[in-house]
Homo-oligomer: A and B are copies of this chain.
Amino acid sequence: MDISVYFPIWGKLDSNQQDLLSSNTKKLHFEKGDLIHTGADCMGLLLVISGQLRAYTVSEEGREITMYRLFERDMCLFSASCMIHSIQFDITVSAEKNSDVFLISAEIYRKVMESSAPLAMFTNEVMASRFSDVMWLIDQIMWKSFDKRLAEFLIDESNIEGTNILKITQEEIGNHTGNPREVVTRMLKYFQNEGMVRLSRGSVEITDIKKLSAVISK
Binding site for B on A (CB under 8 A): 57, 59-61, 63, 65, 67, 84-89, 113-121, 123-132, 134-139, 141-143, 178
Contacts and interface: CB of A to CB of B under 8 A. Distances in A.
Number of this chain's copies in the complex: 2
Given A117-B115, A117-B116, A131 B132 contact: no
A89 to B, nearest CB: 4
Contact of A117 (B61, B114, B128): B114
B131 A65 contact: no
Contacts of A85: 125, 128
B138 A59 contact: no
Contacts of A63: 142-143
A105 to B, nearest CB: 17
A95 to B, nearest CB: 22
Nearest to A114: B117
Given A121-B120, A123-B124, A128-B127, A139 B84 contact: no
Q: List the 10 closest pairs (A to B, CB-CB), nearest first.
A: A120-B120, A86-B128, A86-B129, A88-B132, A89-B135, A59-B143, A117-B117, A84-B128, A86-B125, A87-B128
A107 to B, nearest CB: 15
Contact of A138 (B84, B119, B134): B134
Contacts of A137: 138
Nearest to A144: B59
A125 B61 contact: no
Contacts of A114: 117-118, 121
Contacts of A57: 135, 138-139
Contacts of A142: 59, 63, 65, 141, 178
Contact of A126 (B86, B120, B121): B86
